[in-house]
Amino acid sequence: MAGDLVTQDGQIQFGGVLFGETTEYVGDQLTGWDDLPDLDVGSVPMPTQHGAWPGSLLAGTRELQWDFTVLPDDLATFPQLLARLRAATAPTPDERDLVVQLAGARRLMRGRVIRRSLPADRQYTRGEPSGSVVWQCSDPRRYDVTESESRTALPAREPGLEWSGQPENQMSAQQAAGTGPLYGWWSDVDPVITGDGVGPASVKATVAGSELVWSFDNPNGDYGWPVQGGDPVNFTNALAPAVGGVTVLNWWGPGNTYLDQTVSLEGIGTLSLVAPEGAVSVQPIVSFPTVMASPVPIGTASLRIGTGEGLGYPVDYGTPGSTGNVAPLNMGDAPAHPVVEFRGPVVRPRLTQTGTGRVLEYDITLTESDVLRVDCAAGTVKLNGTASRLYTATKASHPEQVFTLEPGETPMAFRCANQFYDPAASVTVRWRNAYW
């Protein structure tokens, strides 16, 4: 763990070596630690009056200079102390962990040594040289050593009381059996619906992409069957598997306002999910991907809404559900870049900052063993730690570097493609509190 050697104020750990208090590398002064880094001020002067339009403030690198004196407990160990100092402060291509504790606060930065001064003067020959080390940190922010974490699954309703029985089929007996009056279904010219009002009703698509819609006389005047946001909805049909069709649920709001659409893969005859917020009706549909050579029976269908009625004993209040929301708390005073991990099974995972509207969304399918890791500081998106999947970012997705956690809480919502909802999917947000 970074900073595991640091135990008190006035200590610095870098390159696996502890400097400062209680060591033989005695610190005299650390410059730049509590200073603000140099700021690039983007203000633009006003052409016709005094002052300027305030522009962005972008921090540059932070440089830390530590002045020290080497005071060996035993002069015989002086060569070894110098060798350890030189090795720890040698130039390196990559930045390393730099941990400093002052005023009871232990902070982490990443830096490289860009200067080391160790004059070979009379103090040096006596085995008590004084010198200085300068680190340059490309990220000027200081961070808590301990990483914070927040996790959530996709939204899931509170199960509440355990109800006995199953919800009833909302369709009439004849419509559910695929028989009876043809007004149980409708289409706009195509496909063609045929039947005698008694036996099986049939359908034939003469145009690719045409749709057969299950019909219901809604007392509210809305399309489809009445529903409420959050209601469990299960629609099954025998037609889509028989013809390789696509099962669809259209969701409508008040006044026949279109809200959303849930679509299955080809040949799938079942959709089970929760009605979206604001929905007042649901409309079952089968879409035909190709032209049909001859009519086929519509077959059986079922639309179940809700959870059924009647309490079963003993009463089971169920386990808590998931809201699908997280609110990472950055306790510092500077914005922090999180690391976001999406875990499957999930299709098109999306994480939205509900306050700012910033979105991370990727058009990718993750299995149960897959992890999509988004490093917002580095701007990388990697599948299972190796393969870049940055190109899967959707048009709605913002650049990863702007997806920051400002000081305070940042409420977020985890969602995915509706038709592939799986409660086992999750998102984990990791961050360190950041300070100027």
Cβ neighbours of residue 19 closer than 8 Å, sequence gap 6 or more: 11, 12, 13, 25, 27, 66, 68
Residues 173-204: b if buried by 16+ CB within 10 A, e if exposed: eebbbbbbebebbebeebbebebeeeebbbbb
Is residue 187 scored above 90 in pLDDT?
A: no
Q: What is the DSSP string of 191-234?
A: SEEE--SSSB-EEE-SSTT-EEEE----TTS-SSEE--TT-EEE
**pTM of the full predicted structure?**
0.62
pLDDT digits (tens, 9 = 90+) for 293-344: 889 999 999 999 987 654 444 444 444 567 889 999 999 999 999 999 999 9
Residues facing residue 271 across a β-bridge:
235
Among candidates 229, 220, 218, 232, which has minimal Cα distance to 251?
A: 229
Strand 44-45 to strand 39-41: parallel, antiparallel, or no bridges (unpaired)? Answer: unpaired
Q: What is the average per-residue pLDDT within 282-290?
A: 93
Residue the block writes with tokens 């998102």: 427
pLDDT digits (tens, 9 = 90+) for 96-149: 999 999 999 999 999 999 999 999 999 999 999 999 999 999 999 999 999 999
Which residue type occupies 181?
P
Cβ pair 11, 21 in contact under 8 A: yes
For residue 279, which phi and psi values (nearest 5 degrees)? -75, 140
Supply the pLDDT for residue 309. Answer: 53
Cα angle, residue 263 at apex, residues 237 and 370 outer, rounded to 5°: 115
pLDDT-based confidence at residue 2 (cuts at 50, 70, 90)? confident
Q: Which parts of 385-436 are beta strand (E)?
A: 387-388, 408-409, 412-415, 426-431, 434-435
Residue the block writes with tokens 């956690």: 405
* Secondary element (H or E) of residue 11: strand 11-14
pLDDT digits (tens, 9 = 90+) for 337-390: 999 999 999 999 999 999 999 999 999 999 999 999 999 999 999 999 999 999
Cβ pair 430, 346 in contact under 8 A: no
pLDDT-based confidence at residue 14 (cuts at 50, 70, 90)? very high
Supply the pLDDT for residue 161. Answer: 54
DSSP, collapsed to helix, strand or coil, labels residue 74 as coil
Cβ pair 308, 163 in contact under 8 A: yes
Average pLDDT, the chain: 90
Q: What is the average per-residue pLDDT within 419-426?
A: 79
- How many Cβ atoms sit within 10 Å of the Cβ of residue 431? 25
**What tokens were used for 144?**
């808590």
Q: What is the average per-residue pLDDT within 19-30?
A: 96
* Secondary element (H or E) of residue 341: strand 339-343
Which residue type occupies 299?
G
Supply the pLDDT for residue 166. Answer: 64
N-terminal to C-terminal alpha carbon distance within the chain: 23
Provide the CB-side half-sphere exposure for 296 (13 A, CA).
Answer: 18
DSSP state of 298: -
- How many Cβ atoms sit within 10 Å of the Cβ of residue 130? 17
**What tokens were used for 8?**
């008190």
